[in-house]
Amino acid sequence: MNNAEALAEMLLAKGLPNDDESSAVRNLRLTNSNIFNGTMGQAVRDVVARACKSKASPYIVNYERDTKLIMTNLIAVAFQWEWLGLGTRVSKGNYLDSLGLARRRIEDITDALIKGGYATLGRGGYRHYGNAGKSKSTQYYPTDKLLRLGAEMLYETVGDFDNYQPYEWEGDERWDANEGQNIQTLRDYNEFMRSHSWAQKAPTVRKLLSEPYTGGRV
């Protein structure tokens, strides 16, 4: 059993969380990475093909963006052992609107996720008219199929070990007197790590700010 399989089995063994535990959709950085170049990309295309009836590019782009957002959130909540709480009450300026989501796309995408075998529907959402704070969002949880894809995705290589910049400068001033030596150290380290496996594998680089001796994180 490889790392991805072991991770998926560990998550699946927990079963479904209690319906009192849920997490709101978040704007995850993972959504904007290149993880969708692999198997997850095909899953996104499958969901979008089911959800989006239009052939117009602007509509498809919006459905792709929202599908990536919802799918990555579905995977993330499994690590927290919570449901994904996702309502459809979208109004100008509210939280879901700030994420770029729209009611019609949420409905289409969640329906496609369920029909495609990527998500399980939990508790239905409802509005409490006497106390808005007691209103609940509809809950979703990733299926075995999506969790296994997500685990595989985490162990895909997301960086190019043959084409990268060891030093990433914010400004034009090159204030590190040991830049050449440190760059070689990073290249040697990345060459050593090339054959190893870890989640979201990419070469290690150093990021430096424009002010001397600021930044420098790897």
The pLDDT assigned to 61 comes to 94
Whether 124 and 197 map to the same domain: the answer is no
Q: 148 and 49, same structural domain?
A: yes
Beta bridge partners of 167: 206
pLDDT at residue 93, as a whole number: 85
Strand partners for 139? 85
Of 108, 126, 154, which one is at a domain's C-terminal end? 154
Query: What distance in Å separates the CA atoms of residue 213 and residue 181, rounded to the nearest whole number?
Result: 16
Q: Do residues 108 and 194 both lie within one domain?
A: no
Give yes or no for a contact between 142 and 122, defined as CB atoms under 8 angstroms apart: no
**Cα separations in angstroms, 202 against 18, 54, 56, 57, 215:** 36, 36, 35, 31, 20
Domain assignment present for residue 161? The answer is: no
Same domain, 21 and 96: yes
Full domain range(s) for residue 188: 167-217
* Residue 96: per-residue pLDDT: 87
Q: Is 8 exposed, middle or buried (0-12, 13-18, 19+ CB in 10 A)?
A: buried
Q: Are 84 and 73 in contact (CB under 8 A)?
A: yes
Number of domains in the chain: 2
If asked whether residues 120 and 194 sit together in one domain, one would say no
User: Considering 154, 179, 196, which residue would you say is the last residue of a domain?
Assistant: 154
pLDDT at 125: 65
Q: Which residues contact 175 (CB under 8 A, 6 or more apart)?
A: 208, 212, 213
- DSSP 8-state class, residue 125: P
Same domain, 184 and 91: no
Q: With respect to residue 159, please indicate whether it lies within any of the assigned structural domains.
A: no
List average pLDDT for each run of 10 residues in the chain, which is 218 residues long. Answer: 86 90 82 70 94 93 94 93 90 87 94 96 71 73 94 81 90 87 95 86 88 75
Q: Is residue 160 part of a domain?
A: no
> What's residue 4's pLDDT?
85
